[in-house]
Amino acid sequence: MPKVWWPKAPEPGTTPIHLCVPIWDYDDRYLGQAIVPHVIAGPYHLVRKPDFLEEHQIKVILCIRDPSEQRFLRAVDLPNIEFKFLDVPADVRKTNIIPYFVEATKIIHDLVNTEQNVLVCCSDGIDKSASFVAAYLMSMYRLKAVDAITFVQNQRYCATPSVNGYRIKLIEYEPICAAQAAGMAVGVEKVQRQREDDEAEGSDELDPENRPVLAARSKRAR
């Protein structure tokens, strides 16, 4: 089986990311495109394209749908492929989408960490799935919303988060991702500082010049 080609992931915090129009035919929207290693975005109908699933070594299909689509976007019997669904309310503007972004990002991140390929899809692969992949990029690579969307479009040119829906929600997600990244940085710095303090304390105890002082203290204690 040929090896799957993966585009290079963005450098964390990269901005701006410019739109580089790929070689794109209209019919390409009916296919799926790799966005970053192990993450592919596309339309739901690919679940009925066994050649595509096999070629891209898909292990999990994460389908983003609204409740009205449950009858049409559903699991089908595919050997060695697991289905996961996120049922997101259709009225995105009035819904807190952030928890759904967080849940999807965790699912994708766990799969990427174990090198399992995931197809993130929705009915047409243009709005919902593209938005959730962009949210994943924002969280994992510290990208701004506009840069995450552009990065997705550079691989899947038809990806278009709705202007009055998901695009707004991705912008609202920016400060949450920034706070998350800042918290992780503080946590890493704290652990590193504690480790350095512990190492310094241990080296002081082993330093021969410190031993007479320790012995003198021991005598006074008696």
Going from N- to C-terminal start, the domains of the chain cover 26-180
Give the separation between CA 60 and CA 123, rounded to whole angstroms.
17
Confidence label for 186 from pLDDT (cuts 50, 70 and 90): low
Burial class (CB within 10 angstroms; exposed 0-12, middle 13-18, buried 19+) of 17: buried
Span 165-181, mean pLDDT? 93
pLDDT at position 80:
92
Span 146-159, mean pLDDT? 95
Burial 41-60 (b: 16+ CB within 10 A, else e): bbbbebbebeebbeebbbbb
pLDDT at position 19:
86
pLDDT at position 89:
93
Span 137-149, mean pLDDT? 96
Does residue 221 have a pLDDT over 70? no
Ranges 12-21, 40-49, 101-110, 121-130: which has the least confidence:
12-21
Peptide bond into 175 cis (omega under 30): no
Span 38-54, mean pLDDT? 96
Does residue 130 have a pLDDT over 90? yes
pLDDT at position 148:
96
Span 56-74, mean pLDDT? 95
Superfamily of domain 26-180: Protein tyrosine phosphatase superfamily (3.90.190.10)
pLDDT at position 142:
94
Burial 152-171 (b: 16+ CB within 10 A, else e): bbbbbbbbbbbeebbbbbbe
Q: What is the pLDDT of residues 193-218, one digit of tens each?
A: 666 666 666 555 555 555 444 343 44
pLDDT at position 181:
84
In terms of average pLDDT, the best of 35-44, 66-75, 86-95 is 35-44
pLDDT at position 194:
63
Span 140-165, mean pLDDT? 95
Mean pLDDT, all residues of the chain: 86
Instruction: Identify the residue whose tokens are 């070629």.
Output: 55
